[in-house]
Structure formats: C-alpha cells, structure tokens
Structure 1
Amino acid sequence: MLFWCALIVVSGAYVTTPLLHVFESEFQVSKTMSAWTSSSFSFFYAIGFLLFGPLSDRIGRKTVILIGLLSLAITTPLIGLSTSFSVLVILRGLQGFVASTFAPSALAYAFDVFPSNRLITTIGFISFGYVTSGIFGQVLADLLYQWASWKTVFFLFGFLYFMTFIAASIYFPTPAKSGEKEGVRYYIINSKKIFSERNFILIYFITITLLLTFMGMYTLLGDFFSHEPFQLNEKQILGVRALGIVGMIISPFAGKIVNKLGVLVTLRTGIGLSALGLFLLGGGNHILFLVGMSIVYVMGISITFPSIMVLIGELGGNIRALVNTYYAFILFIGAMLGPIIAISLLSIGTYFTTFLILSLLLVGSFLLSLKIKI
C-alpha cells in the first residue's frame, strides 16, 4: 500500500512533462513558460517538505498522509478545469504543496509501524515507488492525453487520489507513537550542524543534479525524437518513455548491490552510468542506440537514489530525518530547475550541446562523490 501511495503521489510531479507542447498550443505560451507547469509543482513540493516533516511529528504521520491524499483528491481535478495558464500554474503549485505531505511522513511512519525485520523491505518498496513514478506518471499522462484530452489526466488522478485516501483510511494502522515533538531550537541547532558537515554539503550538491537532469532530459525527449532524422509519432514517443521502466527494474536490487560493493562504489557507479547515458544520448544518431542510452541513464539514476538514501541513513545518525528533509527539499529544487534550464539551453544551442551540458553536471557530481569519506 505504501508503494502505491509513493507511486501515485509522486507521479503528480511528472504528469505535465509529456504535455508541455499541449499547453503551448492550448494557452498560446512559449516553451519556457509551459515548463512552469512542472516547475511550480516541484518548487512548492520542495517547500512543503520543510513544513510537513515537523508537522507529522506533532499531529501524527497517518493524519498528515490522509490530509494530503484528501487534499490531492480535491485540488487535482480543479487543474483539469483551468481556463487560463496562470490558474493552471497556481493550481499545480498548490497540488505540489499538498503532495509533499506524503514523503517526509511515509518514511517516519514506516519506522513507527513496521518491525525491524520488515523495515528494509518496506523502505525498498517505498523507494521503488518514488523511482518508478518518474516514468509511470509520464506514460499514464501521455496515454490519457492521446486517448481523451489533457484535462482527463487530472480528472483520473483526482479519482485515484480519492480511492487511495479511502484505502489508506481503512488499511493503514495507527502507530502507537507519532514521533518526537521537537521544538524550533532543535531544527535550528541541527540544521547548522548539517550544513557545517562536509559530507552532507557534497551529498546535497550531488542531489540537486539528479532530478535536474532527469526532468531536463525528459522535457526535451519528445521534441528530440519527433524532429529529423527520427520523426517519431506520439505513440512511438510514448513507447520510448515507457522503455525507461526497463532501467528502473534494478532499483529494488540496489540494497543488495550496496551490500556487495559498498555504498560509495554503488553511488559512483550510478552517477557514472547516468552521465555516460546522457552524454551518448546527445551524440548518437541511431534510434535503437539512443533508446538504449536513455535506459542506461535511467538505470544509473535508479541506482543513485537508493544509494544516497542509504548514505544519509549511515551518516545522519539520530538526525537522519532532518537530513532527509533537506535532501528531499534540494532534490525537488533540482526538479524545478530542470525543465527551465533544459529549454533555455536548447534555445541557445542544440540537443547535443544541451544533453552534453546536463551530462557534465553529472560528471561534476561524480567528482564530488570521490570526496565523500565515511
């Protein structure tokens, strides 16, 4: 159930990625402006992490999760009723804000509810839901658009959120404890501690590049394959997006890879694969090769995310929840910047130079990962 919640909630961040060209024509806005339908969600999603983590300590994890799901069920269909671009962007921001109730509460909820022998498996499924949502959200949104209209995407997701709210209300056990009710002083003192620690600073610099490149790459992917020499149609582009799931299959096994290779080797391998895949995606000219490189990129990202979560767990100690809150905040600041940066780079260059620059960000992250010491 937590896997489904992670999948459906975080998918909301990605549903507009294949629809940017639709918003361009529907509302007569530029490509850069249309990117704000993704970026507004990501920005307020990131902001919400800073609020809802501490709030879940105060009023209970399950309560915050249920409030978030019900709020999503209300706000999401309203997006489908938008008649102006500004209203659409505002509602996407509101959707992102209420969606941020889940992630910081879910991990703490798992620690409260599940016994230690089931905890690693549970966290693995939650992480897999987060990772898979990046492709699932895009593919389902694209399918619904091709079948009906862009408005249908938000109507269906609103219905799914409502059904998830009902299921979670019934099947989520109420934990015996809701967490420590820490005061403001706790967050100030430990925030200073986190941002004075070299390892955390390096991790956060790496973190911002992950969804930045992911959102940037997938924002351009449809246009990239629709132009010469490929000229794929919408159904074929949908297939390319869906094949990204192949790269995500490795995610549930990331824990075993970490145990075998060590967390730092796994992290560096993931970043290296994603940088290589993104670089070659811009430089190739054969469709099968390019699709393969997009899968390699996704595979690298799918290894990197769990590695960072394990690393945070090892380094965070008794403040790992706060470390994770800042991680999630910075991760989605990157997601906010991704579409805007990718479109801006394309406006002054080519697909090759854009993918090259994005891959160089990951190369920088790889070099930073060499400086992490545990």
Structure 2
Amino acid sequence: MSQPSAESAPKPHVTAVLFWSSLIVVSAVYLTIPLISLFADLFRVSASQAAWVGSAFSFAFAGGGLLFGVLSDRYGRKKLMMAGLALLGATTLAIGAVDSLPWLVALRALQGLAASMFPPSVLAYAMEMFPAKKRVTIIGFISTAFLMASIVGQLYSSLIVLTFDWTYVFYILSAVYLASFAAIVFGIPSDKSGSAKGSFFAPFARIGHIFKRKGLPIAYIISATLFTALVGYFSTLGSYLSGPTFGMSHQEILWVRAVGIIGMFISPFDGKLVARFGVKRVLCCGLALAAVGLGLLGIWPNLAFLIALSVVFTTGVAMALPAQISLIGQLAGDIRAIAVSFHMFMLFIGASLGPIVAVYLMDLGGYLFTFLILAGLLALSTIVPLFIRLGEAPTAAHGQAQHSA
C-alpha cells in the first residue's frame, strides 16, 4: 500500500474529530467505576457483584478489539468506526432503561463489544492516512485521548449523578455518541482499505504472522504491563487517599486524579521526541519516568508531593504509549492493523488485571509495597526495547515508514 504524502494528509479538523471520538469511546471503560456502590445499593448486591458492570465491559472490549481490528482490514477503518459509534449510541441508550443487574451487565458487555470496534480502527486509520512525518503526532493525540478517558469518564459520571438520576449518565452519552457518528461520517475522508474479497476467515489467519515478526511478540510485554500499572495505580491511589492517612472523599479523590491530566499533554509532542531521539529511546525514557514517579509515590504522606509524583507518572505513561504504538507499527509493516489490534487487546487485558493485582498486593504488603511492585514492572519493561532490533522492514512501505521515524 502506498504511503500518503504530506500534501495528501487529512486536514487539521480530522485530528480533532479523531481525538474527540477516541476520548468519548474509551471513557465508557471507566464510566461505571464511581457508580459501583450506587449499583450495589440499588440492586441490593455486594460491591464485588456490582463490579461486574465494569468487568463485563472490559473483557468484551479487550476481546472485541482483536476481532474487529482484523475485520477492519476486510471492511475498512472508517466503516468500523461508524458502526461502532452507531451501536454505542443504541446500546448506551438501552442501558439507561434497565431495571436489573443481569440486564445491566449484559448490556455493558454489548456496549464493550460495540466500543471495541473503534480503537484499533482509528489507530490503523491514523497510520495509513497520515504521512510518516506526522504519524507519531496523530498517534500521540489519539493516545492522549485514550489516557485522558481514564479520568474524564469517571469525572463525567460522578458529576452527572450529583445532579440527575444515574440513567442520565447513559442517556446524555448516547446522544453524544450519535453526534460523533455524524462527525465521523461527514468529517473525515474515507480510507482505501476494506476490499471484502476472499474468505471471511482469511484475515484471522494473519494473526499468526504477528509471532513470526522479529521483536514484535516481546514488544507486547510492554503493552500488558503499561495498563496493568496505570489501572493498578488508579485502584491503589483511591484506597490510599480514602484511608486513614488522608481521609479524602470520593469527589476529592477524583479531583486529585484529574490533576494527572497535566502529564498526559506530552503525548502529542511524542512525534518530535521520536524524530530527534528515536522511538526506542523515547519508549525507554517514558517507562523509566513512569517507574520513578510510581515508585516514589508512597514514601512521604504529603498531598502536594503525591500530586507532583502522580504528574511525573502520567507524563511517563503518556510518553511511552504513542512510542509503543509507533514501535509496533514499525515492526509489523504490512500487518500493522492486526499488530496494533493485538496491542490494544494486551493493553486492556492489562487494564482488567490492574485492579486484581492491586488489591492482592495491597492485602499482601500495603500501599507502598503495591506502588513499588507496579513501578518494578515498569522498570523491568525498560529492558524489553534493548532486545528489539529495528532492521530491514518486511515490506517496502514499512521501510519508508521506518526510515522516516
């Protein structure tokens, strides 16, 4: 597939549409975190049972991302984004009308499946529609949206339930998804993928090619540990701040988390960093910075110190994520869409494991121990790029992308 030139690059408003749509789609992952206790009281169940409202979405989101990432090769990136937003609008509206926990869990799983159509498609779209010099920058904007969603989703649902019934969290968001569907339909150019030729199952056979590309399989170690640490951090931080040391309310904790958005704004500048220092150096630096911020987080029970290190941690994650996606794209070449889909799958498997790991570690050794172990995972991940060689690319198109990066 020929690479787009600078002249043929999509107009600036396309970046805004992709950023906004990515933000609101991935926000759905974190939407119900502040609502778990509300659902437990409403449906008279335990908090662990109510937590399935989030887990059902996460598992469907992780598995569906792999499935639809493969299918976007067959049907096209823009078509999958449109289908995902349309289904999200419908399922999110239906969630607001449920009156039982089983239906809520089932519809959240369906919502997760619909949402999973978007992230791998938007990343593959960005890689294919933007010229090599702008590719890491647009991936940086999309990565910023993915990271900001972890805070924006929680803030949104918390603020809505302060004024309205919980159902309005989903009614309002449904309208937002449908408006965003229109923005995708009319606001971005169509991609050239999606021939829909040959066997329906043929694209799935290409998943195996991921494990034949040198360096690519071990790169996914970073994908898993990055979001295990990120979501584990959110889970641990919440318990730490609400505990006896700080005694903060749920709303106060959310505002502390919101400050972390400051660090996430480095992602759009990752392209310039990669151009100057190389993708592997930027990735290692981001992982190391995140490890330092997280490892020092619990050593001094001072709120200003904790907030400052939270910003250091999120800055590191925001540096590492777009660099990681760019690295996978370089290693994968002509199978980049499937490779990025598998990255998203591993990312959200890590997100699903994060709370489980955090709770286990807190029970085992407390908050400082948990922060240190999660930081240790990130520190170990910095070794992975050292074993990856960016040699000759599998295809000519891949070679052009690698040379420019």
Per the normalisation by structure 2, the TM-score is 0.83
Q: By how many angstroms is 1:198 displaced?
A: 5.1
Instruction: State the identity as a percent.
Output: 42
Q: 2:217 aligns with which of 182, 201, 224?
A: 201
1:112–1:177 Cα contact (<8 Å) kept = no
CA distance in 2, matches of 1:182, 1:331: 30
1:39–1:337 Cα contact (<8 Å) kept = no
Match in the other structure for 1:316? 332
What is the one-letter code of the residue matched to 2:171?
F
Q: 1:276 aligns with which of 274, 292, 313?
A: 292
2:76–2:192 Cα contact (<8 Å) kept = no
Match in the other structure for 2:9? none
Match in the other structure for 1:371? 387
1:144–1:150 Cα contact (<8 Å) kept = yes
RMSD (Å), alpha carbons: 2.5
Q: How many residues align?
A: 373
2:262–2:311 Cα contact (<8 Å) kept = yes
Q: Deviations over 1:346-367 (max 9, x none)?
A: 3444222222222222222223
* Bigger shift: residues 97-106 or 58-67: 58-67
CA distance in 2, matches of 1:274, 1:42: 24
Question: CA 1:179–1:313 in structure 2 vs 1: closer, same or farther (change >3 Å)?
Answer: farther
Task: Write 1 or 2 for the structure with the bigger share of helix.
Answer: 1
CA distance in 1, matches of 2:107, 2:203: 33
Question: CA 1:283–1:29 in structure 2 vs 1: closer, same or farther (change >3 Å)?
Answer: farther
What is the one-letter code of the residue matched to 1:14?
Y
What is the one-letter code of the residue matched to 1:58?
R
What is the one-letter code of the residue matched to 1:94?
L
What is the one-letter code of the residue matched to 2:274?
V
What is the one-letter code of the residue matched to 2:221?
F
Q: By how many angstroms is 1:230 displaced?
A: 0.9
Q: 1:328 aligns with which of 344, 360, 364?
A: 344
Match in the other structure for 1:352? 368
Q: By how many angstroms is 1:117 displaced?
A: 6.9
Does residue 72 of structure 2 align to residue 56 of structure 1? Answer: yes
Q: By how many angstroms is 1:6 displaced?
A: 0.8
CA distance in 1, matches of 2:382, 2:51: 28
2:135–2:271 Cα contact (<8 Å) kept = no
Q: 1:134 aligns with which of 150, 157, 160?
A: 150
Question: CA 1:21–1:297 in structure 2 vs 1: closer, same or farther (change >3 Å)?
Answer: farther
Secondary structure of 2:383 counterpart:
helix
Match in the other structure for 2:174? 158
Q: 1:14 aligns with which of 15, 30, 46?
A: 30
Secondary structure of 1:174 counterpart:
coil
Secondary structure of 1:10 counterpart:
helix
Q: 1:297 aligns with which of 310, 313, 316?
A: 313
Question: CA 1:187–1:78 in structure 2 vs 1: closer, same or farther (change >3 Å)?
Answer: closer
* Bigger shift: residues 133-142 or 242-251: 133-142
2:70–2:203 Cα contact (<8 Å) kept = no
1:46–1:328 Cα contact (<8 Å) kept = yes
Q: By how many angstroms is 1:120 displaced?
A: 5.2
Question: CA 1:54–1:201 in structure 2 vs 1: closer, same or farther (change >3 Å)?
Answer: closer
* Bigger shift: residues 346-355 or 280-289: 346-355
Q: By how many angstroms is 1:252 displaced?
A: 0.8
Listed as ranges, the matches of 1:106-145 within 5 Å are 106-110=122-126, 121-145=137-161
Question: CA 1:191–1:167 in structure 2 vs 1: closer, same or farther (change >3 Å)?
Answer: closer
Question: CA 1:259–1:179 in structure 2 vs 1: closer, same or farther (change >3 Å)?
Answer: farther
CA distance in 1, matches of 2:44, 2:371: 27
CA distance in 2, matches of 1:274, 1:213: 9
1:57–1:182 Cα contact (<8 Å) kept = no
Does residue 87 of structure 2 align to residue 71 of structure 1? Answer: yes
Q: Deviations over 1:42-92 (max 9, x none)?
A: 211111122212322333332222221111111113333343333322222
Match in the other structure for 2:278? 262
2:233–2:371 Cα contact (<8 Å) kept = yes
Q: By how many angstroms is 1:5 displaced?
A: 0.8
Match in the other structure for 2:108? 92
- Give unpaired runs (5+ residues) of structure 2: 1-16, 391-405
2:57–2:108 Cα contact (<8 Å) kept = yes
Secondary structure of 1:246 counterpart:
helix
- Give unpaired runs (5+ residues) of structure 1: none
Does residue 259 of structure 2 align to residue 239 of structure 1? Answer: no
Q: By how many angstroms is 1:7 displaced?
A: 0.9
Q: By how many angstroms is 1:196 displaced?
A: 4.0
